[in-house]
């Protein structure tokens, strides 16, 4: 309170005392007092000394003329210690100007009382807050004296400070938590807001919160709902808790949540005390969470036919419904091995799967048989990942399933086709071998004839007298060699004729060419065909099946021989070439100088059953092409400029990882 601010002494003891002192002191000197008056002075002195109010009398210079015992004691002094000292000594240095001004004001306004609150400093340095009532009165000699009565308000001040501090803390907490508070008296429509509430609504702190202003801030789509909620709460005196949007002056949207408790004042009117929180960030996070959840759901739905969840006991707890055509019906509560009819047929696969589940490790691409809604067999591919709670406890698995029936059926069809092709290849091989009978017979006959000749010779050597054992032994050795040769030929033919299974391995391309040529050597000789081999030395290996690749070469050579059947005007020449083709492939070509190929026929050569020969089947080239393609290569045909045709095989070179 500022000096000069008038305050009445009211019923205070100070006023009474000052009155008495003035009356008594102004009347006469002490010596002239009668007994009754003396008694009264004594009594008033007692009151002055021991009244629990601090009294000071200060002269115009600010010197303490008198102080009561209580007043001095409150400051840690005796009265004698303070009397004669400047009153300023019991004030803080920074407050002294204020004290001087107060004293000056009192002196200027004799008989007017003034009041203010100020700190005093005790002898021990501690603070004593006082409310001072002061008034200048004139003594008998006309000199002024300032009478000051002080009331200890330290406790109140401390409480006020504590309150101020806790209000500051609250304001800070509200700011940090983006939560403001409000009060609302429904009957009088009076609203109070905390600073943070003003900030949330972006309203001027000086303005009084008005319901129409508030409604103006609320998003038009939410306004009605807010009015309904608050109106009903006010009518029924009930708590409320609602969320709505604000449209801020810059057009941005803010989400708030208001929670209010209803109370009633002494007159029974409904009052609300509540909090209002800015939940924009939470809403934004929720929106993002939903978005990311939706994104992953979209991924899962796109990547799979359905997704699933199983519990800690591996029983299905959830199946997504985005595709209901193939989802096996009634699987909730079942384990995967309950669902799959192949569980008993492939025990090892399922044992491994269950071991992975028990170890709580992810699994990928488990394919199993199941049944769709119509009871049809389907093949399902599934992958899953374990999931855990915050404490790391295993909760189950989540994963996706895809119906791979079509792919499996295609694989099965391809396998069947491959088998059929192998069978067909086998048949054509037998056919080719049939055509090669003369050559083969010759290959075998030749050593057999030699065996007979040598056996005859051996007998002759033995019949000599004395028998020429040395020569006989040599004949027997030749017999053995020829038998071996015959047996080698037979073994090779059997391999060609019998085997249908593919055996892949690293192979030297030139040795395949040589072996194939050796088999048809006789055939070429029979048709007066000369062969020229231009084999590139040091070719890297290729990866493939020896017999199949030889079959291709034999086919191409036989076709070449046949194509030159009618050639009379020029030598029947077959050129077999091998060469590198870039860094990672090699090629083998078989060129003849036969009838050649019509441009229109080139595309059709490799289609099954295309033949221009009277006894032809038209399966040789399609089989050759499929064999080469299985080997990752290409087989093509072209007409030669100088007549005849060239068939070219390209094959990839062998890489370690291909084995």
Residues forming the site for ligand ADP (CB under 6 A)? 559-560, 563, 592, 594-597, 605, 610-613, 616-621, 645
- State which residue, 477 or 598, has the beta carbon closest to ligand ADP: 598
- C-alpha 542/C-alpha 654 separation (Å) is 4
- The nearest distance, CB 502 to ligand ADP, in angstroms, is 21
Q: List the alpha helices (DSSP H) in 437-545.
A: 437-463, 469-498, 509-526
Q: How far is the CB of 589 from ligand ADP (least distance, A)?
A: 11
3-state secondary structure of 466: coil
Report which residue's Cβ sits closest to ligand ADP: 620
Shortest separation between residue 315's beta carbon and ligand ADP, angstroms: 59
The dihedral built from the CA positions of residue 35, 39, 44 and 48, taken in this order, carries a sign that is positive
Query: Closest distance between ligand ADP and the C-beta of residue 622, in Å?
Result: 6
Tell me how far, at minimum, the Cβ of 494 lies from ligand ADP, in Å. 23
Query: Which residue's structure tokens are 């029936």?
Result: 405
Q: Which residues contact 232 (CB under 8 A, 6 or more apart)?
A: 238, 240
Name the strands in the sheet holding 54-58, side by side, starting at the edge strand that comes first in the sequence.
64-67, 54-58, 144-152, 127-138, 113-121
- Which residue number, 447 or 560, has a Cβ lying nearer to ligand ADP? 560
Q: Which of 611, 634, 608 is nearest to 623 (CA)?
A: 608
427 vs 539, which CB is nearer to ligand ADP? 427
Least distance to ligand ADP, CB of residue 621, Å: 3
- Centre a 10 Å sphere on the Cβ of residue 277 and count the other Cβ atoms it contains: 19
**Contact residues for 381 (Cβ-Cβ < 8 A; gap 6+):** 365, 366, 367, 401, 402, 404
287/526 with CB nearer ligand ADP? 526
What is the CB neighbour count within 10 angstroms for residue 139?
14
List strands edge to edge, sheet with 316-319.
Answer: 316-319, 306-310, 394-403, 377-388, 363-371
Please report the DSSP string for 53-104 in residue order: SEEEEE-TTSBEEEE-HHHHHHTT--HHHHTTSBGGGGS-GGGHHHHHHHHH
The token pair that represents 317 in the structure block: 């707890």
Question: How far apart are CB 626 and ligand ADP at their closest, in Å?
Answer: 12
Q: Closest distance between ligand ADP and the C-beta of residue 471, in Å?
A: 50
The DSSP bridge pattern shows strands 306-310 and 505-507 to be unpaired
Rounded to an integer, what distance in angstroms lies between the CA atom of residue 372 and that of residue 376?
5
Tokens of 308: 């699933």
Least Å distance between CB 557 and ligand ADP?
9
- What is the smallest separation between the CB atom of 495 and ligand ADP, expressed in angstroms? 22
**DSSP-derived 3-state class of residue 118:** strand
Nearer Cβ to ligand ADP (41/602): 602
Smallest distance, ligand ADP to C-beta of residue 603, A: 11
3-state DSSP percent of the chain in helix, strand and coil, to 5: 45, 25, 30
How far is it, in rounded angstroms, from Cα 220 to Cα 176? 28
Output 455 or 617, the one with its CB closest to ligand ADP. Answer: 617
Is the Cβ of residue 266 or residue 614 nearer to ligand ADP in the bound state?
614
Answer for the pair 258, 242: CB distance below 8 angstroms, yes or no: yes
**Residue number, 26 or 533, with CB nearest to ligand ADP:** 533
C-beta closer to ligand ADP: residue 198 or 610: 610
Q: How near is the Cβ of 435 to ligand ADP at its closest, in Å?
A: 10
CB burial string 591-624: b at 16+ within 10 A, e below: bbbbbbbeeeeeeebbeeebeeeeeeebbbbbbb
Would you say 103 or 552 has its CB closer to ligand ADP? Answer: 552
Q: Is the CB of 535 or the CB of 638 nearer to ligand ADP? A: 638
Comparing CB distances to ligand ADP, the nearer of 409 and 613 is: 613
């Amino acid at each position: 309170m500022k000096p000069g601010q008038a305050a009445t002494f009211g019923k205070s003891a100070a006023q009474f005392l000052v009155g008495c002192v003035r009356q008594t002191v102004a009347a006469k000197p002490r010596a002239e007092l009668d007994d009754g008056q003396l008694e009264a002075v004594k009594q008033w002195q007692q009151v002055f000394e021991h009244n629990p109010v601090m009294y000071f009398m200060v002269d115009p210079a600010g010197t303490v003329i008198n102080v009561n015992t209580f007043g001095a004691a409150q400051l840690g002094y005796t009265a004698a210690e303070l009397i004669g000292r400047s009153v300023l000594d019991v004030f803080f240095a920074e407050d002294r100007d204020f004290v001087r001004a107060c004293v000056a004001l009192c002196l200027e306004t004799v008989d007017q009382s003034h009041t203010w609150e100020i700190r005093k400093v005790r002898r021990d340095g501690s603070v004593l807050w006082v409310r001072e009532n002061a008034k200048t009165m004139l003594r008998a000699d006309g000199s002024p004296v300032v009478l000051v009565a002080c009331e200890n308000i330290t406790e109140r001040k401390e409480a006020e400070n504590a309150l101020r501090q806790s209000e500051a803390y609250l304001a800070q907490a509200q700011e940090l938590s983006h939560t403001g508070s409000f009060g609302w008296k429904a009957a009088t429509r009076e609203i109070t807001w905390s600073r943070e509430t003003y900030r949330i609504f972006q309203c001027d702190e000086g303005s009084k919160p008005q319901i129409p202003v508030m409604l103006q801030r609320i998003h038009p789509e939410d306004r009605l709902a807010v009015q309904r909620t608050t109106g009903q709460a006010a009518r029924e005196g009930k708590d409320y808790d609602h969320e709505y949007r604000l449209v801020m002056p810059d057009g941005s949207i803010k989400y708030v949540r208001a929670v209010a408790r209803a109370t009633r004042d002494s007159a029974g009117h409904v009052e609300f005390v509540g909090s209002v929180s800015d939940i924009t960030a939470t809403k934004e996070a929720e929106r993002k969470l939903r978005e990311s959840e939706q994104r992953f759901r979209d991924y899962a739905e796109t990547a799979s036919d359905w997704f699933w969840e199983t519990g800690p006991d591996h029983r299905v707890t959830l199946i997504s419904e985005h595709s209901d055509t193939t989802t096996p019906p009634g699987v909730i509560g079942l384990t995967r091995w309950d669902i799959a009819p192949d569980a008993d047929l492939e025990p090892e696969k399922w044992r491994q799967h269950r071991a992975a589940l028990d170890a709580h490790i992810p699994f990928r691409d488990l394919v199993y048989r199941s049944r769709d809604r119509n009871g049809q067999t389907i093949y399902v591919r599934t992958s899953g990942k374990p999931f855990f709670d915050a404490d790391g406890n295993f909760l189950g698995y989540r994963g996706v399933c895809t119906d791979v029936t079509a792919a499996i059926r295609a694989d099965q069809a391809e396998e069947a086709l491959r088998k059929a092709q192998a069978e067909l290849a086998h048949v054509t091989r037998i056919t080719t071998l049939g055509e090669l009978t003369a050559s083969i017979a010759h290959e075998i006959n030749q050593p057999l004839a030699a065996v007979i000749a040598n056996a005859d010779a051996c007998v002759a050597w033995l019949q000599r007298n004395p028998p020429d054992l040395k020569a006989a032994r040599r004949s027997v050795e030749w017999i053995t060699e020829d038998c071996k040769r015959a047996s080698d030929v037979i073994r090779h033919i059997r391999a060609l004729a019998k085997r249908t299974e593919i055996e892949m391995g690293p192979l030297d391309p030139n040795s395949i060419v040589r072996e194939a040529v050796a088999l048809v050597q006789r055939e070429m000789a029979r048709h007066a065909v000369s062969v020229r081999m231009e084999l590139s030395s040091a070719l890297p290996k290729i990866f493939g099946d020896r017999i199949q690749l030889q079959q291709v070469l034999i086919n191409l050579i036989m076709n070449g021989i046949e194509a030159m059947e009618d050639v009379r005007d020029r030598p029947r020449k077959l050129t077999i070439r091998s060469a590198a083709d870039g860094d990672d492939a090699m090629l083998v070509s078989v060129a003849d100088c036969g009838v050649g190929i019509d441009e229109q026929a080139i595309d059709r050569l490799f289609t099954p059953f295309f033949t221009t020969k009277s006894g032809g089947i038209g399966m040789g080239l399609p089989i050759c092409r499929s064999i080469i393609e299985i080997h990752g290569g290409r087989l093509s045909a072209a007409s030669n400029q100088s007549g005849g045709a060239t068939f070219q095989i390209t094959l990839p070179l062998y890489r370690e990882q291909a084995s």
